[in-house]
Amino acid sequence: MIETSVDSAGDMLKLGAQYARSAKSGDVFGLIGTLGTGKTHWTKGFVQAMNPDTLVSSPTFSIINEYTEGACKVFHFDFYRLNTEQELLSIGWEEYLDESGIIICEWADLFLNLMPENTIWLELSHQSECSRIVRQVSKPVEA
């Protein structure tokens, strides 16, 4: 397990960018954490490391944002509003897994059975009001 303490939103952006530097097409990142733990900030840092001019926003209502400019395509999912595996499959989940690019999923633990075996799992949690802990872990246990 790799554990990192993050003391600010800016540090979370830097951590996302750090992961982006070693990421490659085909990678899938599963982000787990309650509201406000920094999942979208981590993703923003990741995507902007690949293309600094990209405006990154949460896909909470759109379910997916596609960032196709830069070194590699990034598909940013937010599973929070999905209720069933069928809903995820109906938006083309399996096709995205076959697509050339990197996938980042917020609330990935909601659909563990649909996440690929090679998923890179990151658990984000509150350490204090301003700081977070980010742990890279093996596949999480189903809730």
Share of the chain above pLDDT 70, in %: 98
Task: Examine the pLDDT at 76 and tell me if it is beyond 80.
Answer: yes
75 found inside a domain: yes
Position 27 confidence tier, pLDDT thresholds 50, 70, 90: very high
Distance (Å, whole) CA 92 – CA 85: 11
Higher per-residue confidence, 108 vs 62: 108
6 found inside a domain: yes
CATH number at residue 68: 3.40.50.300
9 found inside a domain: yes
Query: pTM (2 decimals)?
Result: 0.93
133 found inside a domain: yes
Domain boundaries, position 68: 2-137
Structural domain count, the chain: 1
Mean pLDDT score across all residues of the chain: 92
Distance (Å, whole) CA 24 – CA 60: 25
